[in-house]
A = this chain, B = another copy of it.
């Protein structure tokens, strides 16, 4: 049971988050000031910083939720699965149920639009990549444990995860700059690109 104080806090946080994403996606991240966000919700700037460590944290708040779900999905994969298969399936699963889980916080459409803003804002892109690296580190440890190898002496877990992450970045880029900004579209792209990694590495694409 949620107390009144907790309800108020949650509402303030969600209002700030929604206002922030709305402003970021419409007028741009850099051109949006924290004062503006606070004003839109009618709280002081100081209060914004009590809910979010910074502007950046607000921009990635929803992403954090879905990333946590992805990590949980990887951990829940059957242990006999090959590493790359486990990652692939967990990722696809994540996008399957995305609508319901995001909608609890903000409209899904806002979440999807935010991806585009992240891709086109250098500061956010940089933060996104740094966050991806952190997630990959966690994934590497999970994979290493699944396979019973030591993540620090055996480079293969980190290599596998880095390759997977690389493909994901190419996928995201293609998706977020394209026309079809739907979960179904990124699912299809992901599957297709993962299938093509092998042939991309062997080279001689020209087929002369």
Contact = CB atoms under 8 A, between A and B. Distances in A.
Interface of A: 82-85, 122, 125-127, 129-130, 133, 147-149, 154-160, 162-163, 165-167, 169-170, 173-174, 192-193, 196-206, 208
Provide the main secondary structure of the chain A interface.
Answer: helix
**Nearest 5 CB-CB pairings of A with B:** A162-B166, A82-B203, A129-B129, A166-B166, A126-B130
Contact of A159 (B83, B84, B200): B200
Contact of A129 (B130, B147, B204): B130
B125 A83 contact: no
A82 B204 contact: yes
A173 B134 CA distance: 12
A82 B149 CA distance: 32
Given A133-B125, A203-B85, A170 B158 contact: yes
Contacts of A85: 203
Given A159-B196, A162-B167, A83 B203 contact: yes
Contacts of A84: 201, 203
